[in-house]
């Protein structure tokens, strides 16, 4: 057995290279400099009133309840990737950057003064894109491209457009639920978006149409693909497209569950806790289907996005 020896020599001084390997906690000085950057402070003063408006008027509704989730995830993910942004070389002011800021500012002022929520929030995107170009150039814009696209899901849709999409969605969900339940022998009938089962009648409301869940799941799907670092454009587009029917199917399952609970246990149970639970069930089913579909796509596309073809050995 080798004897245990104790060194009495002076400890080796810590070099600058060693110091970089020592994990640190808390904020670095460059993080503080980033938080106190004049551009960031200016954006906060300029744009925060819009988010206060959203919290008071828009995000309180069921249709736009996903807004704070989109904003929170964007801020968290941008903070996690701040080192990549800080390592980018500073860029000189560009005409394109100033044009984007000017365009966004005009749209912001018009939207806010005329109470057009969609225009006011949509104006944030060119302003943010312009600031990225003015600070880090095209590379900065490339760094923030995903965040800008992700924030699109936070923009409130115009009421006319929401109504135009919601009505056919409600009819399609009602029709699908009626078809499935009639196929397994339940006494169900439908008039428009009203389902009749036994002695009960259930109205498929706007919240049950699935537009909100469709936007939320599409945003979560994009976040999932980004976190998985998928570089295949064809695979990403295929999964993003398939999320739409996945969301629709999950919403049909939600409506069927509510109809079944109401039919067997009464209207009070169906409209109580189970109604809220059905919303959680919707996202659980949709996320499960999305992961399953992604696994299947992994067998169809190789890492470069090319379709995998089986080679027959002769």
Strand 200-203 and strand 194-197: pairing? antiparallel
Shared domain for 259 and 196, answered yes or no, is yes
Range of the domain at 37: 29-154
Question: Which one, of 119, 98, 95, 93, lies nearest residue 108 by Cα?
Answer: 119
Residue 142 · residue 187 · CB < 8 Å: no
Residue 104 · residue 124 · CB < 8 Å: yes
Marked catalytic residue, from 30, 81, 190, 254: 254
Residue 290 · residue 225 · CB < 8 Å: no
Shared domain for 163 and 148, answered yes or no, is no
DSSP class of residue 64 equals T
249 classed as catalytic = no
Marked catalytic residue, from 20, 57, 190, 208: 208
Question: What is the tens place of the pLDDT at every residue in 245-267?
Answer: 988 888 888 888 888 888 888 77
| Rounded-to-integer distance, Cα 72 and Cα 269, Å | 34
Question: What is the tens place of the pLDDT at every residue in 202-250?
Answer: 888 776 677 777 888 888 888 888 888 887 888 888 998 998 898 888 8
* Chain Cα centroid distance, residue 205: 24
Shared domain for 146 and 61, answered yes or no, is yes
Residue 309's pLDDT is: 52
Question: What is the tens place of the pLDDT at every residue in 104-160?
Answer: 999 999 999 999 999 999 999 999 999 999 889 999 999 999 999 999 998 988 878
Residue 278 · residue 270 · CB < 8 Å: no
Q: What is the count of structural domains for the chain?
A: 2
Shared domain for 176 and 213, answered yes or no, is yes
Comparison of pLDDT for 304 and 177, the residue scoring more: 177
Among the candidates 154, 182, 209, a domain finishes at: 154
Shared domain for 260 and 168, answered yes or no, is yes
Packing angle, helices 211-227 and 159-183, rounded to 10: 90
208 classed as catalytic = yes
Comparison of pLDDT for 20 and 156, the residue scoring more: 156
Shared domain for 70 and 169, answered yes or no, is no
Shared domain for 176 and 286, answered yes or no, is yes
């Amino acid at each position: 057995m080798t004897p245990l020896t104790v060194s009495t020599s002076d400890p080796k001084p810590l070099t600058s290279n060693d110091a970089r390997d020592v994990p640190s906690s808390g904020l670095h000085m460059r993080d503080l400099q980033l938080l106190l950057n004049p551009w960031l402070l200016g954006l906060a003063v300029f744009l925060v009133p819009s988010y206060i408006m959203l919290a008071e008027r828009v995000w309180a509704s069921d249709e736009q309840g996903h807004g704070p989730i989109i904003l929170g995830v964007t801020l968290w993910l941008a903070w996690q990737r701040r080192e990549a942004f800080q390592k980018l070389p500073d860029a000189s002011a560009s005409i394109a950057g100033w044009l984007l800021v000017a365009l966004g500012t005009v749209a912001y002022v018009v939207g806010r003064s005329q109470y057009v929520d969609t225009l006011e929030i949509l104006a944030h995107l060119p302003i943010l894109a312009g600031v990225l170009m003015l600070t880090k150039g095209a590379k900065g814009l490339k760094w923030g491209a995903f965040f800008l696209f992700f924030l699109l899901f936070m923009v409130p849709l115009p009421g006319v457009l929401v109504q135009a999409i919601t009505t056919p969605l409600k009819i399609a969900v009602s029709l699908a639920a009626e078809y499935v339940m009639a196929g397994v022998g339940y006494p169900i009938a439908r008039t428009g978006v009203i389902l009749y089962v036994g002695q009960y009648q259930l109205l498929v409301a706007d919240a049950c149409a699935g537009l909100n869940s469709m936007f939320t799941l599409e945003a979560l799907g994009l976040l999932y693909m980004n976190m998985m670092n998928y570089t295949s454009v064809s695979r990403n587009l295929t999964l993003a497209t398939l999320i739409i029917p996945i969301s629709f199917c999950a919403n049909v399952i939600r409506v069927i569950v509510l109809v079944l609970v109401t039919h067997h246990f009464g209207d009070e149970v169906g409209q109580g806790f189970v109604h809220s639970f059905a919303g959680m069930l919707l996202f659980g089913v949709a996320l499960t289907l999305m992961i399953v579909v992604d696994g299947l796509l992994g067998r169809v596309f190789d890492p470069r996005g090319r379709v995998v073809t089986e080679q027959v050995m002769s």
